[in-house]
Amino acid sequence: MYIITLDGKRALNPGADTAKQVLDLGTGTGIWALEFAEEHPPAEVIGVDLSPIQPPFVPPNCSFEIDDLEKEWTWTTPFDLIFSRMMTGSFSDPEVIARKAFDGLGHGGWYEIQDIQLPVFCDDGTLDPETSPLMKWQECLIEDSRKLGRPLGESDKYKDVVEKAGFRNVVETISIWPTNSWPQDPKLKGLGKWNLINFESGLEGVRLAFFTRVLGWSKDEVLSLCADVRNELRNPKVHGYWRISYVVYGQKPEKEVAW
């Protein structure tokens, strides 16, 4: 979906195509690191995650490491690009990660974040925030994440976070993913279809444990809410969307020349 959203690009910053040393934060299954490495053979790409769920067979210029990014970074070679996608709620303090990225980049290197903004948006009143099951589900997610000290839905602060860390030439771009195929625009309609499938497939699993353990809900209460959310998501008369692909990138200043 990101490839469609970003018109075939995996990263938007100007230095992506010439980067030689690349770090992918929270790589997950490793899909971004793998595909970036395949498309950029001169680059050395490292994907980092807490879980060893990456494939065993990878391109020769791609490798994976298991590490906690909130602890001290031990890489000694400066990176040209440090990348992060869909990591909202993963870090207790995004400012700390941004500073680590700044320190880990070489002069002129780029830091790029791609993420989602919660909760869902609606511009025409077809989604009532007072009665919407989807809105209730997301508000519970946000409440849950704050109790855990890893708040969701703060992507709108990333631009300030990146600038505060010392980056220059900071750019923010925002795209949307509709809740279903309600838009008339062909690209957005297609994204809505994929988004519905993607969202529905993980609806219960995303936060069942947290709803029951942290918020004190019963399993039946969670499943009932998820059923209502699914029905609302499928309704083409509800014109909701997420500000996804909240892309923010910035450049570490070039090293000053001493005269």
pLDDT tens readout for residues 24-75:
999 999 999 999 999 999 999 999 999 999 999 999 999 999 999 999 999 9
CATH 3.90.550.10 fits 2-251, yes or no: no
The whole-number mean pLDDT for each consecutive block of 10 residues of the chain, a chain of 259 residues, reads 93 98 98 98 98 95 98 97 96 96 98 94 96 93 86 91 98 96 98 95 79 86 94 97 89 74
Q: Domain boundaries in the chain?
A: 2-251
Residue 211: the pLDDT is 84
Instruction: Give 112: exposed, middle or buried? Use CB within 10 Å, 0-12, 13-18, 19+.
Output: buried
- Tell me the C-alpha distance between 171 and 115, whole Å: 14
Length of the chain: 259
